[in-house]
Amino acid sequence: MYIIVRKDWHPGLSTCNLIDGELSLIEKMNSVIRFAEAKSIFVEFFVYTSVYYRTTPKGSLQCVDEFREKGIGLTVVNDGKEEIFSFDGMDFEKIERKCYQILGFTKKDYFKDEITVKGYGYKKDYFSTKGFIHKVNQFFKNNQEEGVDLVISCQFEEIMVANNYSFACDGRLFQKLIVSENGEIVKTLSSNDRTFIGDKYKRCYKKAELCTENKERKYDRILFAPMASGMLMHEICGHMLENDFFIQGNSLFKCIGQRVCNSTISVYDNPYRMYGKIKHIDDEGNILKKTPLIVRGKLTGLLGCRYAQTTDKKLPFASKARRESHEYVPTGRSFCIELVSSNCKKISVSELQDVLVVKTFSSSSFVPATNEVKCESSELYLFDADGQLIKIKGELKIRLKGNDFLRNIISVYDDYTYQENMCYSSSGHVSAATYTPSIMMDNTSLSIKIAAAS
């Protein structure tokens, strides 16, 4: 079975009709955002439509109309706590009730003004082009294996945030290839740029053999594949430092440019120092000028903070800061990691015996109150004698202090790397998988615990 899933985020807010004689949807959303800004609360809206496609037995694409859906999403960040709400349909009343519940927003707070919409990012019709559909069909045709199901999920997002009586629209593009065997997922591959995922993986990797790990055990060393180590880097180097920079009273408040860890990790205050003006989409879909991530002298990606609330009265609030950064935001809101003394080596297969491999995390989050990162994964593997990955059944739960990770990562880079997967996305859209190599760590030194295998 071969399925392609398309999700288009709705671009039509600029042409919304008046609803029941009231203000248009976009004016309502803008009212809520301005109301929240006055309370130093960040609010973000997105409107979406989802369309699903699958292939027919003859290999052509077919739209599944009964799966079409529309809805509105709402993100609220208050005192560092982020909440995301989804609402089916285009009725704003449900959102009004939620905004009253969490913000105290009521109808009396509405205003009516002319709203403009400025768009960025990708065109929403990308997935309907003949070239894309041909690539999908050809990829499915080349990967027909009995008992193996492939699903390609394509998602386009258009996020809209109010900015000086206008809405800035950021586009971001995600593609995911899911490989299943006998109803169980054995592999998930992702692409976060305009490159069709089938161009990166002409043929699906050799099917992973499943084995069962029935007993609880502790592995002395854990190898994080690029996606997993990238997620750790994102949570710790992104959200932890972001949290420190924006919380008044914190030792790092506004101390951008100060060395915060080992001398080989620096936070710079000038993203144009080496590479000139660079305007990109970061890994959360925000168009910003970002600081490059330098690994052993090579530009391998871009890292940047997400703009939570700031106490700096000279700055526009977050909705402006996250858009058009060259115009509104001081360059001190970006950072990078430079590993100038790394001397990585590829380790042999014999050194990988009894090493637990974590391909990716099913969930990851940063907890500002405790400065910890929590991650969970069931994508666990071991190497066999031939160096092939064997999937095991079990669950890994990680809880580690962000500063400990940053201090240990230097020695880790000096000693180990198994797979160097450091590519730079020409589109500027950087995912967790594209800016870091694999990282092997000592289990005990980081207090990483493995849950009982299922």
Task: Give yes or no: residues 43 and 169 share one domain.
Answer: yes
The mean-pLDDT minimum among 22-36, 203-217, 294-308, 314-328 falls in 314-328
The mean-pLDDT minimum among 86-90, 114-118, 131-135, 372-376 falls in 114-118
Task: Give yes or no: residues 167 and 252 share one domain.
Answer: no
Q: Is the pLDDT of residue 117 over 70?
A: no
- How high is the pLDDT of residue 100? 92
pLDDT tens figures, 177-195: 777 777 677 777 776 656 6
> Which are the contacts of 285, defined by CB distance < 8 A and separation ≥ 6?
121, 157, 159, 170, 171, 172
> What secondary structure does DSSP assign to 12-76, as a single string?
GGGGPPBSTTS-BHHHHHHHHHHHHHHTT-EEEEEEEEEEEEEE-TTS-EEE-GGG-EEEEEEEE
pLDDT tens figures, 52-65: 656 555 555 666 66
Average pLDDT of 383-389?
72
Task: Give yes or no: residues 88 and 222 share one domain.
Answer: no
> 160, 182, 200: which is the final residue of a domain?
200
- How high is the pLDDT of residue 129? 74
Q: Is the pLDDT of residue 15 over 70?
A: no
> 150, 176, 200: which is the final residue of a domain?
200
- How high is the pLDDT of residue 254? 43
Locus of tokens 């993986």: 201
Task: Give yes or no: residues 369 and 221 share one domain.
Answer: yes
C-alpha pair distances (Å), 391 with each of 187, 356, 358, 361: 10, 10, 10, 15
Q: Is the pLDDT of residue 296 over 50?
A: no
Task: Give yes or no: residues 107 and 91 share one domain.
Answer: yes
Q: Which of 22-31, 89-98, 144-153 has the highest mean pLDDT?
A: 89-98
- How high is the pLDDT of residue 172? 57
Band (pLDDT 50/70/90 cuts) for residue 359 is confident
- How high is the pLDDT of residue 4? 63
- Would you state the structure tokens that stand for residue 264, as one six-digit string? 């080989």
How many whole angstroms separate alpha carbon 385 and alpha carbon 17?
A: 64
Task: Give yes or no: residues 183 and 218 share one domain.
Answer: no
Domain extent for 135: 2-200
Query: Which backbone phi and psi does 159 adopt, to 5 degrees?
Result: -95, 135
The mean-pLDDT minimum among 107-111, 240-244, 364-368 falls in 240-244
Task: Give yes or no: residues 432 and 365 share one domain.
Answer: yes
Total tally of structural domains belonging to the chain:
2
Band (pLDDT 50/70/90 cuts) for residue 105 is very high
Task: Give yes or no: residues 248 and 394 share one domain.
Answer: yes
Average pLDDT of 336-360?
62
Listed in sequence order, the DSSP H helices in 121-162 are: 130-142
Given a contact cutoff of 8 angstroms between Cβ atoms, the answer to whether 164 and 30 are in contact is no
Provide the whole-model pTM.
0.41
Q: Is the pLDDT of residue 301 over 80?
A: no
C-alpha pair distances (Å), 304 with each of 42, 57, 236, 293, 335: 18, 45, 12, 9, 6
Top pLDDT among 338 and 440 is at 440
Task: Give yes or no: residues 412 and 296 share one domain.
Answer: yes
Q: Which of 68-82, 88-102, 123-137, 209-223 has the highest mean pLDDT?
A: 88-102
Task: Give yes or no: residues 177 and 64 share one domain.
Answer: yes
Task: Give yes or no: residues 51 and 172 share one domain.
Answer: yes
Task: Give yes or no: residues 187 and 220 share one domain.
Answer: no
Average pLDDT, the chain: 60
Percent of the chain with pLDDT over 90: 1
> 200, 223, 239: which is the final residue of a domain?
200
